[in-house]
Amino acid sequence: MSAGDQASALREQRVTEEVVASFTTVSDQRFGQVMTSLVEHLHAFARDVRLTQQEWDTAIAFLTETGQISSETRQEFILLSDVLGLSMLTVGINAPARPQVTESTVFGPFFVHGSPHIELGGNLAEGVSGKPCRVHGRVRGVSGEPIPNARVEIWEADDDGFYDVQYDGAQLQGRAHLFTAEDGAYDFWSVQPAAYPIPHDGPVGRLLARAGRSPMRPAHIHYLVSAPGYRTLITHIFVAGDEHLDSDAVFGVKPSLIVEFIEHPPHDHSGPTPPGVPIDQPWAEVQFDIVLDEAASPPDEQPTVIN
């Protein structure tokens, strides 16, 4: 290394050291740890790729636009985290180690607080287009004990691949919450989910296009399951056979979450029927049992979400 190169390297290192030193007096140790590591890794990235001024300007413009396009119903920063795999990495870091526990996956940008409550066997998809689908199962703990009164929150897209919040002025549809029975059973009607693209008309979409990546997500239903004394679970179920299972834009697919949706012919009344929806067309059924881990201390809280 030449004398000039050595001088440049020392100058760059001094910048990093000065910034790191600015966080050494913070009273919150965890904050100091996170910010120190962030600065060190961020500076190391810039040195590694020899970041140009033009590239830095482009990155700032990209992040600015990401914030500007975000709204109450669209969170572009969550999409960015998702397509870079940071969301799934964070899920993996924080997931329980017990193999018998239902696996978690990404939260996604379309959760809404204040979903309507439905009774067991109710229909959350009234007014939503798609094939009627019955979803049922049991919620239990790792020892097999049923978990009564667990809150099961569900949301999904319609068969055109859109969530209710993506329609101007639409009411809440395709989402609801219910509570499990004494034996841990849950049961609801919806529509069979369809594959859809994540919003790709903004900066994240351009990033995917530049990388030659698809914006498609395989068909899925979102779950958020919580109960006192247990860790809150955020997960999906995916439709077996979907063509996008191996190329999910947000890397959220796990084999244990892929389930078979059983097809029933029209007028098959072998089981419950959806309230207010005559079964005069093909319909589907899926069973998905959920195992929750014991809560950490202090007990988990429902995540704070910015939509």
Residues 40 and 153 in one domain: no
In angstroms, the CA 257 to CA 239 distance is 9
Q: How many domains does the chain have?
A: 2
Q: Say how far apart CA 220 and CA 149 lie, in whole Å.
A: 24
Q: What residues have CB less than 8 Å from 307, skipping those under 6 apart? A: 72, 73, 74, 75, 109, 110, 111, 112, 165
Q: How far apart are CA 257 and CA 88, in angstroms?
A: 14
Instruction: For residues 45 and 61, give the distance between their C-alpha atoms in angstroms, rounded to a whole number.
Output: 19
Domain boundary among 51, 69, 90: 51
Instruction: Examine residue 130 and state whether it is found in any structural domain, yes or no.
Output: yes
Q: Is residue 93 part of a domain?
A: no
Look up residue 10 and give its two tokens.
């020392």
Residue type, 272: P
pLDDT of residue 270: 66
3-state secondary structure of 292: strand
User: Considering the domain boundaries, does residue 284 fall inside one?
Assistant: yes
Catalogue the E-assigned strands of 86-226: 122-123, 132-141, 151-155, 175-179, 185-191, 196-197, 216-217, 220-226
232, 300 in Cβ contact below 8 A? yes
Provide the domain limits for residue 20.
3-51
141 shares its domain with 275: yes
Does the residue 136 lie in any domain?
Answer: yes
Q: Is residue 12 part of a domain?
A: yes
Angle subtended at Cα 154 by Cα 165 and Cα 178, rounded to the nearest 5 degrees? 120
H or E stretch at 209: helix 203-211
d(CA 307, CA 84): 19
Residues 126 and 273 both lie in one domain: yes
Residue 17 domain-assigned?
A: yes
In the block, which residue shows the tokens 């970041």? 51
Residues 139 and 280 in one domain: yes
Last residue of a domain, one of 15, 30, 51: 51
Q: What is the pLDDT of residue 299?
A: 45
Query: Do 173 and 30 sit in the same domain of this protein?
Result: no
- Concatenating the DSSP letter of every residue in 23-87 gives TTT-S-HHHHHHHHHHHHHHHHHHHHHT--HHHHHHHHHHHHHHHHH--SS--HHHHHHHHTTHH
Q: Is residue 193 part of a domain?
A: yes
What per-residue confidence (pLDDT) applies to 67? Answer: 96
Tens-level pLDDT at each residue, the chain (307 residues): 666 667 777 888 999 999 999 999 999 999 999 999 999 999 999 999 999 999 999 999 999 999 999 987 788 999 999 999 999 999 989 887 788 999 999 998 888 888 999 999 999 987 777 888 999 999 999 999 999 999 999 999 888 888 878 877 667 778 999 999 999 999 999 999 999 999 999 999 999 999 999 999 999 999 999 999 999 999 999 999 999 999 999 999 999 999 999 998 887 666 666 666 666 778 899 999 999 999 875 544 444 443 3
User: Do residues 105 and 46 both lie within one domain?
Assistant: no
Res 172: pLDDT = 75
- The pLDDT, as a whole number, for residue 99 is 86
Which bin fits 108, alpha (ψ -120 to 50), beta or left (φ > 0)?
left
Whether 43 and 117 map to the same domain: the answer is: no
47 with 102, same domain: the answer is: no
133 & 276 share domain: yes
8 Å CB contact between 260 and 237: no
Would you say how long the chain is, in residues?
A: 307
Q: Please give the Cα distance from 121 to 158 (Å, whole number).
A: 19
pTM equals 0.85
Contact at 8 Å (CB) between 107 and 155? no
The answer to whether residue 65 is domain-embedded is no
pLDDT of res. 184: 98
Residue at which a domain ends, from 31, 51, 71: 51
| CATH code: domain of residue 156 | 2.60.130.10
